[in-house]
Amino acid sequence: MSMDVAAVRTAFPALTDGVAYFDGPGGSQVPRAVADAVADTLCSGISNRGTVSAAERRADAVVVKARAAVADLLGAHPGGVVFGRSMTQLTFDLARALAAGWKPGDEVVVSRLDHDANIRPWVHAAAAAGVTVRWADFDPRSGELATEAVTSLLTGRTRVVAVTGASNLLGTRPDVPSIAAAAHAVGALVFVDGVHLTPHAPVDLAELGADVFACSPYKFFGPHLGVLAADPALLETVLAPKLAPQTDAVPERFELGTLPYELLAGVTAAVDFIARLVPADGDRRSRIVTSMRSVQAHEDVLLADLVARLGAIEGVTLHGSPSRRTPTVLFSVRGRTPDEVHLLLAERGVNAPGGSFYALEAARWMGLGEAGANRAGLAPYTDQRDVDRLVEGVAALV
Ligand SMILES: Cc1ncc(COP(=O)(O)O)c(C=O)c1O
């Protein structure tokens, strides 16, 4: 079943402003239903989680529903879904907690393809614990991260392999299941940054081989917060500093302070929105998978068109050509800085920012430096007219 993009677009109030939003990898636009869920929660009687008053039960139900929704989205266990301020914060917290069990001489593996949020937390934690960081390099021309580039670094001392599900700079989708199998063979824990993957493909933690998977609902129509998902049994083995009155139960013991109930209601609404992107029968998990396959099909068609036409413009360079990718295109325009391109396109109502997008190691490795390049990311609401406007806008700059 294909996705009706015109119908999907009507669900997003922001799209009536006439802007072509190619900045989805930085944060997607939000459907009315998600905003309504946030507002309804704020306007209803709500207290701290509890079982006595209706307001307490309402708060509790919001949390339980949000864990179930994320579990359906990721093929995860609701009891292993942890909410936090952002993926960055959750990753820092987990890295610090895991590092308490590391010994000098242990090793962690990070990839240069990753967003800094899946590098720096491990680098800091390793430094504090006297642990060696091993860097997996990718091919700066193709943007591919070869499986062997990671697996060749594994030893009996490897404690964590941190790798992205998809690069937010180039769209590259490494072969995470193969990397994970090799990491597990040496007893390492696999941490997958799924922030850029989750909006573009069906996700299944077990299929990926991810012990821990992190993502950010604001990249897939939801509010601004972060999510970490793992087997609850694994989380039981991790101790983290927390307040004394706070429960020791998993996953709550990783959630510091009061949860943002209104945002969690928005997360549930975002997952329900995804589940309804195309008409389908079955439970929510199977409808999500059907929807995400349709999203992929829709985005792949537009991506092929965008890559062919942008690449054909004299003076435009496309960076990377990964074989398995999300619909994310990094490009430079001869004689223009990324900031200039960003500004001139924005003046035409086309949003395609410039920079390294916090994939700083990757941008440097490719020779793009801190300035990076311009990024055009497609979303389920992107249509052919948007793509035409981007191509016309870039062509006018050369
Ligand atoms: C691939 C990737 N990982 C991690 C992050 C950080 O996510 P958060 O803003 O939730 O910390 C981002 C944000 O852009 C990202 O694109």
Per-residue model confidence (pLDDT) at position 65: 98
Q: Is the shortest distance between the CB of 90 and ligand 1 below 6 Å? A: no
Which residue stretches of 201-283 are H helix? 205-208, 232-236, 261-275
Euclidean distance between CA atoms 204 and 226, whole angstroms: 18
Q: For ligand 1, what atom is nearest to the CA of residue 224?
A: 10
For ligand 1, whether the C-beta of 80 sits within 6 Å is no
C-beta of residue 306 within 8 angstroms of C-beta of residue 329: yes
Q: Which residue has the tokens 């389908």?
A: 280
Ligand 1 midpoint to CA 32 (Å) = 23
Q: Which ligand 1 atom lies nearest to the CA of residue 114?
A: 1
* Cα-to-centroid distance, 39 and ligand 1 (Å): 25
Is 115 near ligand 1, meaning CB less than 6 Å away? yes
Give the pLDDT band (50/70/90) at residue 252. very high
300, two tokens: 């792949």
Q: Looking at the predicted structure, is the pLDDT value of residue 345 above 90?
A: yes
Q: Tell me the three state secondary structure of residue 200.
A: coil
Give percent above pLDDT 70 in the chain: 100
Does residue 34 line the site of ligand 1, with CB under 6 A?
A: no
Residue-wise pLDDT for 122-149, tens only, equals: 999 999 999 999 999 999 999 999 999 9
Q: 195 with 214: CB under 8 angstroms?
A: yes
- Residue 103's SS3 state is coil
pLDDT at 297: 98
- Which ligand 1 atom lies nearest to the CA of residue 90? 11
What's the pLDDT tens digit per position in 254-269? Answer: 999 999 999 999 999 9
**388: pLDDT confidence band, cut at 50, 70 and 90?**
very high
Q: What is the pLDDT of residue 364?
A: 98
Residues 98-114: pLDDT tens digits? 999 999 999 999 999 99
Closest ligand 1 atom to Cα of 215? 10
Per-residue pLDDT at 5 exceeds 90: yes
Amino acid 91: pLDDT: 98
CA distance 107 to 160: 7
What pLDDT is attached to residue 366?
98
CB 322 within 8 A of CB 142: yes
Residue nearest to atom 14 of ligand 1 (CA): 26
Q: Which of the listed residues 195, 218, 267, 330 should we mutate to test ligand 1's pocket, taking the one with most ligand atoms within 8 A of CB?
A: 195
- Beta strand ranges found along the chain (DSSP E): 20-21, 81-84, 107-111, 132-136, 158-164, 189-193, 212-215, 226-230, 316-319, 328-333, 350-351, 354-355, 373-377
Assigned token pair, 352 = 């395609």
C-beta separation of 26 from 353 below 8 A: yes
In sequence order, what are the residues at sequence separation of 6 or more whose Cβ sits closer than 8 angstroms to the Cβ of residue 278? 1, 2, 3, 4, 290, 291, 294
DSSP3 helix / strand / coil % (the chain, rounded to 5): 45, 15, 40
- Pair of tokens at residue 17: 């402003």
Q: How far is CA 49 from the centre of its chain?
A: 28
User: Candidates 70, 87, 191: which one to mutate for ligand 1, based on the most atoms within 8 Å of Cβ?
Assistant: 87
Pairing of strands 373-377, 328-333: antiparallel
- pTM, two decimals, is 0.98
Closest CA to 206 of 82, 75, 78: 75
Interval 321-340 mean pLDDT: 98
Per-residue model confidence (pLDDT) at position 306: 98
pLDDT in tens, 180-233: 999 999 999 999 999 999 999 999 999 999 999 999 999 999 999 999 999 999
Average per-residue pLDDT in the chain?
A: 98
Mean pLDDT of 75-84: 98
Q: Is 361 helix (H, G, I), strand (E, B) or coil?
A: helix
The answer to whether 187 touches 231, Cβ cutoff 8 Å, is no
Percent of the chain residues topping a pLDDT of 90? 100
Helical pair 261-275 and 54-74, crossing angle rounded to 10 deg: 40
Q: Does position 351 have pLDDT exceeding 80, yes or no?
A: yes
What is residue 352's predicted lDDT score, i.e. its pLDDT? Answer: 98
Tell me, in angstroms, the distance from the centre of ligand 1 to residue 86's CA: 8
- How far, in Å, CA of 71 to CA of 78, rounded? 5
- Cβ of residue 87 lying under 6 Å from some atom of ligand 1: yes
Neighbouring C-alpha atoms within 13 Å toward the C-beta of 258: 11
Residue 1 confidence (pLDDT) above 90: no
- Ligand 1 pocket, 117 CB below 6 A? yes
Buried b vs exposed e over 116-126: b needs ≥16 C-beta within 10 Å? bbbbbbbbebb
Question: Does residue 389 carry a pLDDT above 80?
Answer: yes
Contact 374, 26 (CB under 8 A): no
Ligand 1 near 228 CB (within 6 A): no
